Amino acid sequence: MITNQLVKNILDTKLEDIPENVKQHGQKSFLNWLGVAIGAAHHPSVDIVLGLKEELKWAEDVSILGRKEKSDLLTATLINGMSSHIFDFDDTHLDTIHHPSGPVAPVVLALGEKYDVDPDKLLLAFILGCEAELRISNAVYPSHYDLGWHITSTAGVFGSAIAAGVIFGLDEDQLSQALGIAGTQASGLREVFGTMTKPFHPGKAAQNGLLAAMLAKKGFTSSKTVLEAKRGFANVLAPEHQLESVNINWGKQWELLKNSFKPYACGIVLHPSIDACVKLREKSSVDKIERIEIKVNPYVLELTGKKEPKTGLEGKFSIYHSASVGFLYGEAGEDQYSDEVVNSEEVLSLRNKIYPQVDETFTEDEALAKLVLKDGQTFEYEVKHATGSIDNPMSDEALQTKFKRVTAPIISETKANTLIDKIYNWTEINSVSELLSHTK
């Protein structure tokens, strides 16, 4: 039984069994997640959710990152998961286009604060939750994703349930039940990409997985074969799958090590095109451009083919906009995805000169851009592995700089440096409350 074996693997894995490089990568993943969640704390979508507080009479016992408000356990988990995905600046497992920290870290943080959980147990829960959801993602990708499911949400609910289950100390039967409760809540449609509902997905996955573990702890029942059953997760939501791979080489091969960190605040399949345009800007001023041709992986136009975005969120799903800001600004941070920049005359003009072309032989982190000038000169730049990918990773220095930049509107540099130091030196964290005191 695949579900049962996964549960056994989870419960048999202790923190001391996890290699040091995996722990360190887990800490970096958590740091990256925390930064983007704090940075988006005052986005209008967060305000809208918090606007329900009086109507729904929430308790105030768990922190909302980057804000003074608190909420109940489940709602805080929802909001912190949502805010971490708003900028589309969170971590990415490129093999499956899955963002693993978003559904798992909010659960770990909320339970750590509410129940004063030992930080070592929280790190274990975070790593195991992410590892499990990534293995499930591998098993159903790409057919599941191609159908239109948002894999971060659908597979992420299992990761959040596992993280919560580890923290609660669920036994084998309870954790199996929790996965069944989580699996029936697996949802999230790619149709809503480019709207406030896309970042809502990892928040709901976090909330739903936590609820599943809480119910299982109380004796709530469900299917104990939710992954492999005839009418279970894989057979219903993925026409083609390799579910047997979920447990292969458990503890020896770590999918978490393939988790990458973004230098640009948009869909990761856009990063190679941005890299190329950043380089090509060295060759010419914008007024001399005839056109920019970009060869890309097929997913780029499928996911980011929006030619005329009207909002910053839509711009994150437009190769036309992303390539333009890469050339014009030399970067593609959150500032380049504001509504103002998306609708600026300079960007609008250059967008009309961007010509993406699908090349079936290109991988997701590969692109070839050709700059054609009005005088006939041409320049090319090829990207084999985009900045931030596993084959061309961000340095620790770059990751820390990103953290400080994205959190700068919310917290001081002193607080940012303190958080960086504590998360890189996880064993020195005394409590989650101590950590949270620096997040607002």
Same-domain check for residues 333 and 402 = no
- Residues ≥6 apart with Cβ < 8 Å to 387: 263, 271, 275, 394
Same-domain check for residues 45 and 187 = yes
For 348, the domain range is: 268-383
pLDDT tens by residue, the chain, 440 residues:
999 999 999 999 999 999 999 999 999 999 999 999 999 999 999 999 999 999 999 999 999 999 999 999 999 999 999 999 999 999 999 999 999 999 999 999 999 999 999 999 999 999 999 999 999 999 999 999 999 999 999 999 999 999 999 999 999 999 999 999 999 999 999 999 989 999 999 999 999 999 999 999 999 999 999 999 999 999 999 999 999 999 999 999 999 999 999 999 998 899 999 999 999 999 999 999 999 999 999 999 998 999 999 999 899 999 999 999 999 999 999 999 999 999 999 999 999 999 999 999 999 989 999 999 999 999 999 999 999 999 999 999 999 999 999 999 999 999 999 999 999 999 989 999 999 999 99
Span between the terminal Cα atoms of the chain, in Å: 45
Same-domain check for residues 220 and 366 = no
What pLDDT score does 411 carry? 98
Same-domain check for residues 135 and 87 = yes
Is 194 within a domain? yes
Is 109 within a domain? yes
What pLDDT score does 203 carry? 98
Same-domain check for residues 336 and 405 = no
Is 389 within a domain? no
Same-domain check for residues 66 and 190 = yes
Same-domain check for residues 199 and 302 = no
Same-domain check for residues 288 and 315 = yes
Is 388 within a domain? no
The domain total for the chain is: 2
- Residues ≥6 apart with Cβ < 8 Å to 38: 65, 66, 83, 406, 407, 410, 411, 439, 440
| Nearest by Cα to 418 from 440, 435, 406 | 435
| Nearest by Cα to 81 from 162, 189, 157 | 157
What pLDDT score does 104 carry? 99
Q: What is the reported pTM?
A: 0.95
